[in-house]
Structure 1
Amino acid sequence: MKNVTDPTSGKGIVKNSRVKKPIIKNSIIKNREELLSHGLVKARKSCLDIIEYALNEVDPYHATHRAVQLHQEILIVDNQEYDLKTIDHIYVIGAGKATFRQAQAMDEILGDRIDEGVVVVKHGQAKPLNHIKILESAHPVPDQNSFEASLEMIRLSKKAKENDLVICLMSGGVSSNCCYPVDGITDADKIEMNRLLVHCGAQVTEIMSVRRHLSKIKGGRLGLMIQPATCITLTVSDAIGDPLEWNADWTHPDSSTFQDAVDILHRYGLWDKIPARVRDYFSNFTKEKETPKSLGNGKFQYCMTIKTIDLWKAAEMQSKKLGFTPYLLTSELKGESREAGRVLCSIAREAHKSHKLFDIPCALIATGETGVRIHGEPKGKGGANQELGCGACLDLTPEENIVVGAIDTDGTDGPTDYAGALTDGFSVNRAQGMGMDFHRELMEHNTSELLKNISDIIYTGHTGSNVNDLVVILVS
């Protein structure tokens, strides 16, 4: 037992340093009434309840408070102690769609001990904090704010000296929120590269491998700037399997190579489409262009406050409470979004038809991250989870008691303001009744408009979290 400072009152209270801060359940889905106005209402409500419970369980604010405590002048991070009396200055840096809630917690925990802090989030997420400046930039394609924000990260990193402490907050979205191109590559080149990469259908780790080799801060390069200061990186995982290097991108050595990046560009047919300066850069390898494979004797600690397992475990728990036997189909969901949805739903249809695969009623759960490959100009807007939900219901009939919920846990699926989709066997018929060709709208990537018209789009606003995508299929 240790005497630990209560992060909300600042008063010393006696409790175990690893005790969990109580989680207050919030209503996250804003348009529940509309989503429950049609179709398989009872199952749709259960699906939304499972999704909402899971989102509450992966709130970075509470996770940060669980991982980090302050006992007088001793900072405890994942059971590792730091004597703040030996620290000259504390700096907080960070970027990503889950970092505002992390920053909010660190602002409360450290208070006036923070000498300076800058954290970058997606447009629309920022709220004022007392000791950390919050900046906004674009996602999934960077804007000018992204480049200006990266200069702030570099400035603070280089400002840190040997007896200083840098706390680095990271989550998914960091690659767009902060960009700083290598010499010879322009801001416009980086923006075009991001646009090409997010539309090519590549896996997230492949996209990041290319980005790292065009960046002065990614792939551990910012970690080199932070040295010789001590650096604590707090991450919220959004990568399949929770690999540390993909989640601590600024401060962790890079396992991908320069040649990997070149191969990925060829693999997805991008080599002839990328800007000429980028193609020239990748055509001439030099040792200096490779990302660091080691950070030497640097003083680094890494703490993953939320893992992807926390997301599907929460969905599993709530499914049981609602009377559905949960089955994790995969925690490594990948592939083309609409096709992944169709395959997942074919498994649900077999379970509904034969009752041999699973105990009915059941909840089939999948987490991961699918992608959308766009050829030419899309008709409208959409996102991976919206396409997955649309693909999943293509073969469903009203007689099948199957509901599909698919969301991006940050609340903004792709370049849209919507979290995902809630569909069932009535979805296609509803669209047809409104004169819409469901399949054609899906193929033309106009899923946001399609789902809005049939009241099957999920709206949460920014959740403050960003783990994996979550798919819940209920078979009643």
Structure 2
Amino acid sequence: MDDKAILRVLFDAALAAAYPDGQFAGRLPEPPKGRTIVIGAGKGAARMAAAFEAEWPGPCEGLVVTRYGHGMATRSIEVVEAAHPVPDAAGMAAAARILALAQSAGPDDLVVCLMSGGASALLTLPAEGITLADKQAINKALLKSGAPIGAMNQVRKALSAIKGGRLAAAAAPARLVTYLISDVPGDEPRSIGSGPTVPEASDAEAALAILKRYAIAVPAAVEAAIRANVIKDVPTPAPMHMLATPYRALEAAAAKAREFGLTPLILGDALEGEAREVAMVLAGIARSVAEHDEPAKRPCVLLSGGETTVTVRGKGRGGRNAEFLLAFALASQAVPGVSAIACDTDGIDGSEDNAGAIVDADLIAEAEAQGIDLAAHLANNDAYSAFAALDRLVVTGPTLTNVNDFRAILVR
């Protein structure tokens, strides 16, 4: 098996560890006297709903919303699809129905919330005084600003009638339990889907400061609405269970790497920053391995997760993982025996149809032979086009889960 094939096997191992199937065992609450209402959102929402149904001992009902193309068959929990990463009317309608379901729960009922990455955009219900168009405009600006995911989620909470613990408040006095697939650094529940069932005090001024920091214009009416959208009674935290995390996915890839005789080194599951800058750092580590066998001895694989960002300046087709890889390939071209894969575990790198791409030692020579200027493609945020021409894209289709980015750098 060549190194490109090995890298793909490592990615598949990470994906397998990110699925919710069989993960509810031993974590289910006592069935209620009344209804079991299942609500949720995210790229993994449909698969989570199906996995919950498979293990729940009684009847259940409910609704989850996922990204277009990320649905799957379920028995009794309705699955609807909406837009991601920029919210649309379908997401807003689904969020309104989910909020109504939570509000309908009584003291004898159980509300089960299933949250995974992507829920922030999919569970869209603007606060009073804010329109869907307002949210869409601010979301688009944030996505192009280079703001980290934590900052984006803080703004999303401030604009929402359902995020930041507001869904938990709506479900009271019913019992509430939340199941999570983490896509955020540190697996902080309040950051997954912007924490709709995680009670927290509102901080309107912090959200406005983020918008100002990234020079995102906010109409006066929206600014006033953000300041008015506060949670007056913060509910008591309810039980939460983490079904899958980025680090567990990296551990699964590390175990698989050992089967190939590779020494795995997990650099972390929370790497953030501009994709190009992260690429420069990891290229430097790969060079150190190649030249000094530090911080790991060859043959080895450097594993990392997290979520990089891209400040869009060009007009090409990108995706943060493709951008990372193109920058990495250019930075490490003088280092022998290096290959790498970078993919989004949801199967969609940004807004393209690929999960990511693979690079190896032959990439630079092949690009030159075909007259492809890789540096120009990088400058234009056009990594997708370069990798498509060089047949290096990784295409999985929607995976129905999401534990953020997966990167593996193999050094011989």
TM range (shorter): over 0.9
Residues 390, 421 of structure 1: 8 Å contact kept: no
The counterpart of 2:39, out of the listed 93, 98, 104, is: 93
Distance 2:307 2:335 in 1: 30
Deviates more, 1:256-265 or 1:344-353: 256-265
Give runs of aligned pairs for residues 153-232 of structure 1, distance below 5 A: 153-232=98-177
Distance 1:457 1:67 in 2: 39
Q: CA deviation digits over 1:243-302, x for unaligned, max 9?
A: 1222371111236621211121122222xx3445324545xx3xx423468314x7x211
Residues 263, 297 of structure 2: 8 Å contact kept: yes
Letter of the aligned partner of 2:374 in structure 1? F
Residues 325, 360 of structure 1: 8 Å contact kept: yes
Residues 184, 270 of structure 2: 8 Å contact kept: no
Q: CA deviation digits over 1:316-365, x for unaligned, max 9?
A: 11111111111112222000012211220121022112334321101111
The counterpart of 2:221, out of the listed 269, 277, 280, is: 277
Deviates more, 1:104-113 or 1:151-160: 104-113
SS in 1 for 2:207: helix
Whose radius of gyration is greater, 1 or 2? 1
Offset at residue 448 of structure 1 (A): 1.5
Residues 237, 304 of structure 1: 8 Å contact kept: yes
Distance 2:255 2:267 in 1: 15
Distance 1:374 1:277 in 2: 28
1:392 is matched with which residue? 328
2:22 is matched with which residue? 62
1:259 is matched with which residue? 205
SS in 1 for 2:221: helix
Residues 258, 290 of structure 1: 8 Å contact kept: yes
1:350 is matched with which residue? 288
2:273 is matched with which residue? 335
SS in 2 for 1:147: helix
- TM-score, L = length of structure 1: 0.82
Q: CA deviation digits over 1:158-184, x for unaligned, max 9?
A: 111111011110011001112011111
SS in 2 for 1:266: helix
Distance 2:187 2:176 in 1: 20
Confirm whether residue 289 of structure 1 aligns to residue 229 of structure 2. Answer: yes
1:237 is matched with which residue? 182
Deviates more, 1:135-144 or 1:302-311: 302-311
Offset at residue 133 of structure 1 (A): 0.7
Distance 2:365 2:241 in 1: 48
- TM-score, L = length of structure 2: 0.95
Residues 342, 394 of structure 1: 8 Å contact kept: no
Residues 254, 293 of structure 1: 8 Å contact kept: no
Distance 1:52 1:170 in 2: 22
Q: Quickly say closer, same or farther: Cα 1:255–1:172, change in 2 above 3 A.
A: farther
The counterpart of 1:409, out of the listed 342, 345, 351, is: 345
Distance 1:255 1:324 in 2: 47
2:263 is matched with which residue? 325
Distance 1:274 1:441 in 2: 33
1:426 is matched with which residue? 362
Q: CA deviation digits over 1:79-131, x for unaligned, max 9?
A: xx41x3x52111110000111111011222237611x2111111011123110
Letter of the aligned partner of 1:373 in structure 2? T
What is the Cα-based RMSD across aligned positions, in Å?
1.9
Distance 2:63 2:90 in 1: 13
- Give aligned pairs, total: 411
Structure 1 stretches of 4+ with a deviation exceeding 4 A read none
Deviates more, 1:441-450 or 1:201-210: 441-450
SS in 1 for 2:186: coil
2:300 is matched with which residue? 362
Distance 1:407 1:170 in 2: 21
Q: Which runs of 5+ in 2 are unaligned?
A: none
1:20 is matched with which residue? none
Letter of the aligned partner of 2:235 in structure 1? L
SS in 2 for 1:61: coil
Distance 1:171 1:102 in 2: 9
Distance 1:47 1:308 in 2: 17
Residues 165, 229 of structure 1: 8 Å contact kept: yes
Residues 192, 274 of structure 1: 8 Å contact kept: no
Distance 2:285 2:42 in 1: 34
Letter of the aligned partner of 1:383 in structure 2? G
Residues 50, 75 of structure 2: 8 Å contact kept: no
Residues 398, 425 of structure 1: 8 Å contact kept: no
2:95 is matched with which residue? 150
1:30 is matched with which residue? none
SS in 2 for 1:442: helix
Deviates more, 1:340-349 or 1:244-253: 244-253
